[in-house]
Structures are given as C-alpha cells and as structure tokens.
Chain A
Amino acid sequence: MELCGATWAANGDPNRSESTKRMNTVEAPTKKPDVPAIRTVHLTKVYGRQVVAVNNLCFEVPQGVIFGFLGPNGAGKTTTLRLLLGLQRPTAGEAYIFGQRCGPNAVSVRRQVGFLPTNPQFPGHLKPFEYLDLVGELCRLSAEERRPRIASLLRAVGLLPVADRRIRSLSTGELTRLGIAASLVGDPPLLLWDEPTAGLDPAARRFALDLIAELGRDRTVLIATHILADIDRVCNYVGVMHEGQMIFCGPMAEMKRRLGTDSFQLILAGSDENLRNFARVVQARPDLTTVWSNENQLRVSFPDGASRCRSLMELLQLIDQNGLELTAIHSGVGATEDAYLQLLQEDRAHGFKRFYEGTTSGPSNPGDHAL
C-alpha cells in the first residue's frame, strides 16, 4: 500500500524481522475471514446505576469494511469503543474483536487494534519519534523492527519537519497526525478512530479522509463521528447509534435505499408563481415523491425500478417548461443527512416498542437491527 510515498504493507512490512514474524505467528490468533472484525452481544454499560451509556447493544462489523459509526453526542459511541478496548468493563454483555473477547487484560485483542482517541492527549515532554518509539515498545516490537517503521510513518503522516519539537508545541492537526501514526505503529488489522477529523482545518481533514480510504483497502476501519459528510465520503458500511442502541447497521447503500432517500435535491430560481405552478405539476405525478424543504428547494425520490436518468430528464424538462432556473443539484451528503435524521426520528417515534426490539434482537444478522 502506498501512503504518501512511503511503502507501508499491512501484513507484509518489508522491515519486519524474521524473529518478529515468528513471534507474531505464534502469538497472533489466526483471523478467519468469516469471523466479524467486531461483534457485540447485548453489550450494556451503566454508570453508577444512573446513566445508561450503552443499552443492550448488538451489532457486527464485517472484516474489510470502512465502518461509519454514527450517532449524536452522548449516543454512546466513545463508550462502545472504550468497552471494545477493555478500558471499561461492561455492566452486561460481551464484545469480541476477531472472535476474541475484549477485556482489561486482553492483550491479544488490543494487539490487533489501532486506536485514535478524540483530541488525543500525549506526554508533552516527549518528541514525536520518542513517543512513537514508546508505543512501539508497548506493542512489543523490537528496536530493529519499530525504528524504520516509525521513520516511514512520520514521513507518511507529514511530521518529519516537526520531529525535533516537543509534542506540547504541536498544533491540533499535527497532534491528530501523531495519533494516527501511533495507531499504525503496531500494524493492526483493525483501526478504531474516534472523531479523526474533529478540530482539523480543511487540508488536514482531507488528508485524514484520504488516509482512511487508503487504509481501508487492506484493513477494517471504524470511524466514530457525527460529521455526516465524512461518513458519506469514505464509508461503505454504517451503524447508527441512538441513546445507547444501534438503530441501524448495514451497508451505506442499504441505509439510503431502505429509507427512500436515494434522492436528489434541486435548488430552483424563479418567480413565486412559477414555483407554485411547478409544485402543483410535480405533486400530481404519481411516479415522483417530492418534499419541499424550502420554498425553492425540492427533494425528489424516484420509485424502485424506474429509470432514474429518464425520470430526472423529465423533471428537468418540467422545470424548464415552468420558466424556472436550476441553480444547483445535489445528491449524497444531503441524502445521508436526511437518512440519518429520519432514523433518529423514527427511533423516537417507536416509543415503548423499542423495548421489545431491544430485547429480542440478536447479533447474528446485522440487518435485524435496522428499523
């Protein structure tokens, strides 16, 4: 895999020594392709019998996907990650990574995980290389293996120019890059990144997203975030968490399709009368589902089986016939946002029914968790 010019092989690092290869062969568990990267079974976390952070959570993340872990603030995403890492103990239920149970002393689990926390905290007195060297030692890598790897990682994340500075003097973007590098030191097959783009400027954000897409080619990546644009751009699998429960878990396309939001948003310009006429015409058509989100913004969904090109072409002709101008046409981000908000709204609307759904849902079929 090519990472900003540095060769970085997920399972075939050229710097890996024979002795370490042997060690890893003995100690690292064999990953079967049919075993999910992450699996939780009725995972529950209650703080002090007062705050329910994770509520009977059952979901699976298949291997080799870029999983977008969505949810509003306080939904329980970070707590779930901490439970997976063994930093916290579940009140009930279990969590597994590559089939191995998670816990405070589950070293073999954490060896397979690269964790990037939100706004990572580092020992400020160290320099980037020293910190990554410490992380390498914690990953039980020998000096001859970790040092070339750290050097190439520093180059890959663009921290070579600041390698001689103390960590306390680095900017937020540089700290995130350092956190990314730290999560990759052990060359893990699973990455858990908690809000990797939080507080980053546009350039740093683009860098992080490109990196996620790059890394997702040969390993499983889980990104916990509430920034929908990020999810839409890089993820192919998504889980939506709300009030401690997973309300949807499945492929991205499935989420959009099930919620009928595989749609287009049209922004129109024209007189009020023309807009009203146009609204009457499109609402009369049975093959289109339209929602006006603003007086000049229209979201149009096409029914299953219909030719989207032909329908869109007809719609554009209607716009023209009614004397309107098409200012913009959007798809994707807006659709995900709508799908996400609709999921949350439906979850709230389910009311007490959620109790039965929560207690009967099993972890075997991820699709079962979708509403």
Chain B
Amino acid sequence: MRGRHLALPTLAIMRSELRALWGGWLVRLWALAAIFLNFLILLSWWQVLPNTLLLATLLFPFLVFPWFIVIITLGATAVGSARVEILADGVLSRPITRLEFIVGSWLARAVTVLAVFLGAFVPLALIGLYADRPVLAETVTTDGVIVTCILVSLVLLALLSLGFFLGTILRNGWIALLVAFFVWYPINVLLSTFRVEEFSPISLNQGAPVVLRKSWFLPGEKKEQLDVVKLQQQFADLIRGFMAPPQPERRQRGFFREVEQHENIKPLRVSLSYGLATVLFTCLAYTIFFRQDL
C-alpha cells in the first residue's frame, strides 16, 4: 500500500504523458505512417525475399531511416523549453521529485516507441512468415524473432534516451534534433572506424537475418544455407545502395566486411552496449535536469 503511494506520482505522470503523446498529431501520424510503410515494404518484397531478409527489411525504417528522427524528437521534447513552464507550474511545484518526473516521462515515451515498433512490425512479420509466398523456404526461429525484437527495442530506447539527454542539455527540442541528426546519422562510419561496427544499427540490420535463423535459448545445430547467404549479400548491397554510393576498399574493413561475418554478431554484447547507453543517457539527463532552474 505504502509502495503504491510512493509510485503514485510516477505512474500518474506516465499516464498523463501517454495521454498527451497519443492525443497529439506526432505519435498518431507516426504510428499510421510506420504501419503504412511496413505494409508497402511487405508488398514490394512479397515475391522476392525469403523470410529472414523480409523481416530485416521491415526493421530497416526503425533501425536506419527515417523513424529515428521521430524517436529522437519524442525524447528531446520531453523537457524542452516549450514545456518547462507547464511542467514547473503544473507538475514540479507539487510534492514530487525530479527523478519521479524523469522516470514517468521516460517510461511514457518508451512505451509509446515500443508500441509503435511492435504494432508496425509484429503483425506484418507474422503475415510474411505464415503466408504462402513463392520464395525460397527458410526457417525463422521463435527465439530469433524474440531476440531480434529485444535488440531493436534496445536500440530504439537508446535513441530515445539520446534525444532525452540532448533535449535536457540543450533545452530546445529542434536544436536537440539537429544535433542528434549529426550524431546519429554518421554513427555507422564512426563505429566502423573504431572496428566496432557490430554496434552500429545498420550492421545490426544487416545481421538481423542471422539472428532470426538461430536458436538462441536452446542449443541447436547451426543451419546455414548457401543460397540464403548469397541472398543476404544481395540484401547488404541493397542497404548500402540506400545509404551511400559504393564505398572504396579502405572503408570496407569493418566488422562485417564479408557477409559471413554477420555470424559473429553477439546479441548479449549488443544488448549490453545499447542497454548501457540507455542507462547512461537517462542518468545524464536526470543529473542535468536536477541541476536546472525551471
């Protein structure tokens, strides 16, 4: 009972923020656009891509482009200048701590981001998996789908926390978005430079088919099909085509130089790195917010 009273402000803020988010045009439009775009992707590749590559393609808008802009905006506007007065007068002048506010606000945004991601990905992924499509038969494990969803969710939460942090430190949602754009967009090149391309969202997108095929929770035999690997190479080329013109040899010496090296993806390591980034950005946002004058 006492614990419930203690959590009451955090839950109240979370509910209020959720109502405000889903009552606004940004989240509603984003949810509709995300579902619509994934539907278009599904239709476009219906007769071409096998299951794993189709699912990886459905993840592309979330991991690479364009939804990172929306996610960072959601984070950056949480405590931006336009809202500070309302927050100070209406919420933070009441008997709550700033930590309770930050946690409530972050949770509301995290729930929103995950709801849109899962809402736009899972139903269409299930259609793609279980429909009778004229493509190469390929096994996708349940473990693989769960691990992929967890990994992508962690990436999205890290992005949200980055936006949260930038919005808190810069106190202006639009400037935060601009800065985030310049931080996030070239991150693949940056990680490749430091030979940790495994952590880049683009590489994760390229490695998703491997994750989807494996059985992660139960030890099972490794099933690798040469044709699928070739298709995966084509998919990687396709992604590169989206991202940039053909790269010179010097810049291809990343973690995943050869497509077979996607086998080296370590979900635990990736989870830990994005989990740590999420915690770090959120803690920094709280520390800065705690010291700010409202």
Residue numbers of A with Cβ under 8 A of B are: 19, 23, 47, 82, 85, 87-89, 104-105, 107-108, 110-111, 113, 115, 117, 120-123, 125-126, 131, 134-135, 137-140, 142, 182, 186
* Minimum-distance CB pairs A-B, first 8: A137-B12, A138-B94, A111-B95, A88-B293, A117-B89, A110-B95, A115-B93, A87-B294
B16 within 8 A of A: yes
User: From residue B92, how far is it (CB to closest CB) to chain A in Å?
Assistant: 6
Please determine whether A186 and B94 come into contact, CB atoms closer than 8 angstroms: yes
Please determine whether A139 and B95 come into contact, CB atoms closer than 8 angstroms: yes
Please determine whether A120 and B97 come into contact, CB atoms closer than 8 angstroms: no
Residue of B nearest to A107 (CB): B95
Residue of A nearest to B293 (CB): A88
Partner of A104 from the list B2, B5, B11, B290 (CB cut-off 8 Å) is B290
Given contacts A110-B95, A117-B89, contact A123 B20 (CB under 8 A): yes
- Find chain A residues with CB under 8 A from B97 CB: 104-105, 107
Please determine whether B8 and A137 come into contact, CB atoms closer than 8 angstroms: yes
B186 within 8 A of A: no
B248 within 8 A of A: no
B179 within 8 A of A: no
- Find chain B residues with CB under 8 A from A19 CB: 1
User: From residue A51, how far is it (CB to closest CB) to chain B in Å?
Assistant: 12
- Find chain A residues with CB under 8 A from B2 CB: 23
Partner of B93 from the list A23, A47, A85 (CB cut-off 8 Å) is A85
- Find chain A residues with CB under 8 A from B293 CB: 47, 82, 87-89
Instruction: Give Cα distance in the complex from A113 to B98, angstroms.
Output: 17
Please determine whether A105 and B9 come into contact, CB atoms closer than 8 angstroms: no
- Find chain B residues with CB under 8 A from A107 CB: 95-97
Please determine whether B92 and A134 come into contact, CB atoms closer than 8 angstroms: no
- Find chain A residues with CB under 8 A from B99 CB: 105
- Find chain B residues with CB under 8 A from A88 CB: 293-294
Is chain B's interface secondary structure helix, strand, loop, or mixed overall? Answer: helix
Give how many A-B residue pairs fall within 8 Å (CB-CB).
Answer: 84
Please determine whether B1 and A82 come into contact, CB atoms closer than 8 angstroms: no
Please determine whether B9 and A140 come into contact, CB atoms closer than 8 angstroms: yes
B86 within 8 A of A: yes
- Find chain B residues with CB under 8 A from A131 CB: 90
User: From residue A369, how far is it (CB to closest CB) to chain B in Å?
Assistant: 26
B257 within 8 A of A: no
Please determine whether B98 and A138 come into contact, CB atoms closer than 8 angstroms: no
Instruction: Give Cα distance in the complex from A142 to B12, angstroms.
Output: 12
Please determine whether B23 and A138 come into contact, CB atoms closer than 8 angstroms: no
What string of 1s and 0s marks CB contacts (under 8 Å) between B63-94 and chain A?
Answer: 00000000000000000000001101111111
Residue numbers of B with Cβ under 8 A of A are: 1-2, 5-6, 8-9, 11-13, 16, 19-20, 23, 85-86, 88-99, 290-291, 293-294
Please determine whether A122 and B86 come into contact, CB atoms closer than 8 angstroms: yes
- Find chain A residues with CB under 8 A from B23 CB: 125
Please determine whether A23 and B94 come into contact, CB atoms closer than 8 angstroms: no
Residue of B nearest to A192 (CB): B93
Please determine whether A89 and B291 come into contact, CB atoms closer than 8 angstroms: yes
Instruction: Give Cα distance in the complex from A88 to B163, angstroms.
Output: 24
User: From residue A219, how far is it (CB to closest CB) to chain B in Å?
Assistant: 16
Instruction: Give Cα distance in the complex from A123 to B89, angstroms.
Output: 11
- Find chain B residues with CB under 8 A from A89 CB: 291, 293
- Find chain B residues with CB under 8 A from A120 CB: 89-90
User: From residue A153, how far is it (CB to closest CB) to chain B in Å?
Assistant: 15
Please determine whether A121 and B85 come into contact, CB atoms closer than 8 angstroms: yes
Residue of B nearest to A186 (CB): B95
- Find chain A residues with CB under 8 A from B88 CB: 82, 87, 117
6 chain-A/chain-B pairs, Cβ below 8 angstroms: A89-B293, A104-B98, A104-B290, A120-B90, A123-B16, A138-B94
- Find chain A residues with CB under 8 A from B290 CB: 104-105
Please determine whether A122 and B95 come into contact, CB atoms closer than 8 angstroms: no
Please determine whether A140 and B98 come into contact, CB atoms closer than 8 angstroms: no
Residue of B nearest to A119 (CB): B89
Given A108-B95, A137-B12, 8 other A-B contacts at CB below 8 A? Answer: A104-B97, A107-B97, A126-B19, A134-B12, A135-B94, A138-B13, A139-B94, A140-B6
User: From residue B290, how far is it (CB to closest CB) to chain A in Å?
Assistant: 6
- Find chain B residues with CB under 8 A from A140 CB: 5-6, 8-9, 95
User: From residue A136, how far is it (CB to closest CB) to chain B in Å?
Assistant: 9
Partner of A82 from the list B20, B291, B294 (CB cut-off 8 Å) is B294
User: From residue A145, how far is it (CB to closest CB) to chain B in Å?
Assistant: 11
User: From residue B294, how far is it (CB to closest CB) to chain A in Å?
Assistant: 4
Partner of A134 from the list B1, B5, B16 (CB cut-off 8 Å) is B16
Please determine whether B89 and A138 come into contact, CB atoms closer than 8 angstroms: no
Instruction: Give Cα distance in the complex from A360 to B1, angstroms.
Output: 50
Please determine whether A137 and B11 come into contact, CB atoms closer than 8 angstroms: yes
- Find chain A residues with CB under 8 A from B20 CB: 123, 125
User: From residue A9, how far is it (CB to closest CB) to chain B in Å?
Assistant: 20
- Find chain A residues with CB under 8 A from B94 CB: 110, 135, 138-139, 186
Given contacts A107-B96, A110-B93, A139-B95, contact A121 B86 (CB under 8 A): yes
User: From residue B141, how far is it (CB to closest CB) to chain A in Å?
Assistant: 43
Partner of B89 from the list A47, A121, A137, A186 (CB cut-off 8 Å) is A121
Residue of A nearest to B11 (CB): A137
User: From residue A224, how far is it (CB to closest CB) to chain B in Å?
Assistant: 14
Instruction: Give Cα distance in the complex from A126 to B20, angstroms.
Output: 9
Please determine whether B291 and A123 come into contact, CB atoms closer than 8 angstroms: no
